[in-house]
């Protein structure tokens, strides 16, 4: 499966324009974030103008891949080979990161203007820039050293964003997150050190050629897997996730749930495809934990009265869908058709969830900001004054529930096809159970929101565009199901 990650030699050398596009995609978010710290934008218009070069760089990289297929960049520094690659999957994830990152940046001025954020709010911009630049590097990197550095930069910036409010709950949750992230980094680094000591190289393509199944590979995979599972909040290492989102600012939650935790999952699947090819037990352990995640996360979301806890707990459940697909992606004796269906469904589910979850956190933040209430019961009757925020929440929920024709439906349909072909009936039951639980906790919010007997709230008007930005992301997740052939064709292109 390593070829699907672009781990093979490219035919064409990147053009000069592609070098500039790569530099812009990796460096502009950080540069613009630092500029915004010096001159904090008060409106979304200057943010939109500054974001255009970032989106153009993504479009240029997409065009370069469409014309040439796989592209690679390599540098040797102090005897260490650093390499990047541009294939269909990395292009898709890069574009996803840019669109969600720009949406979060456009949302931020209005949110900061209406919230009591304090004097440290200006530092949210450079931290967001670090997160987006590090994420872009993770999607492109093909050596363990670059992946580690990008993962650490992203993690430290994510912690920094959580601490900016200065409130005690945020500080406690942020420090706990920092401690667990450092533990995850340590176990990941131990696995990398084991690989380097035994095989003497860090580039993924070279490792794919020399690694053989055995105790060293299994132990390295266990260390790396544990560290990345902790960072990705995979069940049962998810306990830090809900407290983090309870106290986080809305754009921080949107970026974190949509993108940050996905990066660790991406690295995990990429490295395990090298260390544990065609293995039986490890993917099934992940899959059974995914089944528990679907049920446990759904029950937590169903029982809570906090809107942010509901949205955060649903992330645990939604990640369970991706975990359940691991035996189809990495397991032995899987026919080409179900493996291809699982591969397509996995990444379509990940992208659909990213757009929908960012939109859902923004909609939840808008509801809380406008009403001053953070509980489901406290939001009773909000349909009278905040119909657009509830519409955004509902459209995003369609993707999470997997209703047609959203990305969630198309992705789950592909996963179900693969599971039925391979007769993994327990996985089929997990997906169906998760859909019912998602519907149960989503409709709890709407039951309260449309309560006509509830007392009327005093509403704070939202900044222009805050609902429209969230609605755009929700509609993208919805449209991905109808236009799934475009990303799926990209993932198929550029094979050796």
Q: Is residue 147 part of a domain?
A: no
* pLDDT at residue number 451: 80
Per-residue pLDDT band for 383 (boundaries 50, 70, 90) equals confident
Residue 494 pLDDT exceeds 60: no
Question: Is residue 379, in this structure, part of any structural domain at all?
Answer: yes
Quick check: is 432 in a domain? Answer: yes
Cβ neighbours, 10 Å, residue 413: 18
Instruction: Give the span between the Cα atoms of 450 and 390, in whole angstroms.
Output: 10
Comparing 167 with 228, the larger pLDDT belongs to: 228
d(C-alpha 488, C-alpha 411), whole Å = 11
Strand partners, 375: 306
Q: Check: CB of residue 353 under 8 Å from CB of residue 294.
A: no
Q: Is 312 part of any domain?
A: yes
Tens digits of per-residue pLDDT, 283-293?
A: 999 999 999 99
State yes or no: pLDDT of 116 exceeds 90. Answer: no
Distance of alpha carbon 206 from alpha carbon 277, whole angstroms: 15
> Tokens in use for 57?
């760089």
Whether 413 maps to a domain, the answer reads yes
With cut-offs at 50, 70 and 90, classify the pLDDT of residue 170. Answer: confident
Round to whole Å and give the CA distance between 136 and 57. 12
Average pLDDT, the chain: 90
Say if 65 falls within a structural domain.
no
pLDDT tens per residue, range 17-75: 888 999 999 999 999 999 999 999 989 999 999 999 999 999 999 999 988 888 888 88
In this predicted structure, the answer to whether residue 319 has a pLDDT above a threshold of 90 is: yes
Domain hosting residue 415, numbered range: 278-496
Task: Please state the three-class secondary structure of the chain as a single string.
Answer: CHHHHCCCCCCCCCCHHHHHHHHHHHHHHHHHHHHHHHCCCCCHHHHHHHHHHHHHHHHHHHHHHHHHCCEEEEEEECCEEEEEEECHHHHHHHHHHHHHHHHHHHHHHHHHHHCCCCHHHHHHHHHHHHHHHHHHHHHHECEHHHHHHHHHHHHHHHHHHHHCCCCHHHHHHHHHHHHHHHHHHHHHHHHHHHHHHHHCCCEHHHHHHHCCCCHHHHHHHHHHHHHHHHHHCCCCCCCCHHHHHHCCCHHHHHHHHHHHHHHHHHHHHHHHHHHCCCCCHHHHHHHHHHHHHHHHHHHHHHHCCEHHHHHHHHHHHHHHHHHHCHHHHHCCCCCHHHHHHHHHHHHHHHHHHHHHHHHHHHHHHHHHHHHCCCECHHHCCHHHCCHHHHHHHHHHHHHHHCCCCCHHHHHHHHHHHHHHHCCCHHHHHHHHHHHHHHHHHHHHHHHHHCCCCCCCCCCCCCCCCHHHHHHHHHHHHHHHHHCCHHHHHHHHCCCC
pLDDT at 9: 76
φ, ψ at 299 (rounded to 5°)? -65, -40
Confidence of residue 118 (pLDDT cuts 50, 70, 90): confident
Has residue 493 got a pLDDT over 60? no
Lowest mean pLDDT among 145-154, 205-214, 254-263, 289-298: 205-214
- Position with higher pLDDT, 345 vs 490: 345
Asked whether 259 and 135 are in contact (CB, 8 A), the reply is: yes
pLDDT exceeds 60 at position 377: yes
> Is the pLDDT assigned to residue 138 strictly greater than 70?
yes
Mean local confidence (pLDDT), 377-386: 84
β-partners of residue 143 are 203
Number of domains present in the structure of the chain:
1
What is the band of 239 on the pLDDT scale with cuts at 50, 70, 90?
confident
* Tens digits of residue pLDDT in 340-376: 999 999 999 999 999 999 999 999 999 999 888 888 8
| For the chain, percent of residues with pLDDT exceeding 90 | 61
Report which of residues 491 and 286 the model is more confident about: 286
Weakest mean pLDDT among 18-32, 243-257, 316-330, 369-383: 369-383
The answer on pLDDT for 496 being more than 60 is no
Q: What are phi and psi of 202, to 5 degrees?
A: -120, -15
Q: What average pLDDT does this structure show over 191-220?
A: 89
Question: Which pLDDT belongs to residue 495?
Answer: 54
What tokens were used for 376? 């489901």
- Indicate whether 361 belongs to any domain: yes
CA distance linking residue 244 with residue 131, whole number of Å:
16
Residue 225 banded pLDDT, cuts 50, 70, 90: very high
Tell me how far apart the alpha carbons of residues 161 and 112 are, in angstroms, rounded to a whole number.
Answer: 13
pLDDT higher than 70, residue 457: no
Residue 234 lies in a domain: no
Per residue in 82-110, pLDDT tens? 889 999 999 999 999 999 999 999 999 99
Determine if the pTM surpasses 0.85: yes
Task: Report, as an integer, the average pLDDT of 131-139.
Answer: 96
């Amino acid at each position: 499966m390593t070829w699907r990650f672009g781990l093979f030699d490219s035919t064409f050398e990147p053009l000069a324009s592609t070098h500039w596009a790569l530099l812009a995609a990796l460096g502009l978010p950080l540069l613009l974030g630092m500029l915004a710290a010096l001159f904090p934008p008060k409106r979304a218009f200057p943010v939109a103008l500054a974001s255009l070069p970032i989106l153009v760089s993504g479009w240029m990289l997409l065009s370069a891949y469409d014309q040439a297929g796989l592209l690679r960049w390599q540098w040797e520094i102090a005897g260490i080979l650093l390499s990047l690659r541009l294939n269909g999957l990395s292009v898709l994830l890069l574009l996803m990161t840019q669109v969600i990152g720009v949406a979060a940046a456009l949302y931020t001025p209005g949110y900061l203007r209406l919230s009591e954020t304090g004097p440290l709010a200006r530092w949210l911009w450079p931290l967001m820039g670090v997160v987006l630049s590090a994420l872009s590097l993770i999607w492109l990197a093909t050596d363990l050293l670059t992946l580690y550095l990008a993962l650490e930069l992203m993690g430290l910036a994510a912690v920094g964003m959580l601490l900016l409010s200065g409130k005690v709950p945020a500080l406690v949750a942020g420090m706990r997150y920092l401690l667990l992230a450092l533990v995850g980094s340590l176990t990941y680094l131990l696995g990398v050190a084991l690989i380097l000591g035994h095989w003497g190289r860090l580039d993924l393509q070279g490792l794919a050629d020399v690694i053989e199944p055995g105790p060293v590979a299994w132990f390295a995979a266990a260390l790396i897997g544990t560290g990345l599972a902790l960072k990705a909040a995979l069940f049962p290492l998810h306990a830090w996730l809900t407290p983090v989102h309870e106290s986080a600012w809305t754009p921080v939650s949107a970026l974190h749930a949509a993108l940050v935790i996905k990066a660790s999952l991406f690295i995990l699947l990429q490295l395990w495809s090298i260390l544990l090819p065609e293995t039986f037990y490890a993917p099934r352990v992940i899959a059974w934990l995914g089944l528990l995640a679907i049920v446990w996360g759904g029950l937590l979301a169903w029982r809570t009265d906090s809107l942010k806890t509901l949205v955060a707990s649903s992330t645990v459940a939604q990640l369970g869908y991706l975990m359940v697909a691991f035996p189809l992606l990495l397991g032995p004796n899987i026919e080409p058709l179900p493996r291809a269906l699982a591969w397509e469904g996995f990444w379509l589910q990940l992208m659909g969830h990213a757009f929908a979850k960012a939109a859902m956190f923004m909609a939840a933040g808008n509801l809380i900001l406008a009403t001053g209430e953070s509980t489901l019961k406290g939001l009773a009757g909000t349909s009278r004054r905040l119909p657009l925020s509830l519409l955004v929440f509902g459209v995003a929920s369609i993707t999470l529930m997997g209703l047609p024709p959203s990305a969630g439906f198309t992705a789950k349909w592909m996963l179900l096809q693969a599971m039925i072909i391979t007769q993994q009936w327990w996985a089929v039951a997990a997906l169906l159970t998760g859909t019912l639980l998602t519907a149960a906790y989503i409709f709890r919010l709407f039951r309260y929101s449309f309560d006509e007997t509830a007392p009327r709230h005093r509403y704070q008007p939202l900044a222009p565009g805050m609902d429209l930005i969230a609605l755009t992301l929700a509609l993208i997740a919805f449209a991905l199901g109808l236009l799934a052939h475009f990303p799926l064709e990209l993932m198929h292109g550029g094979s050796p």
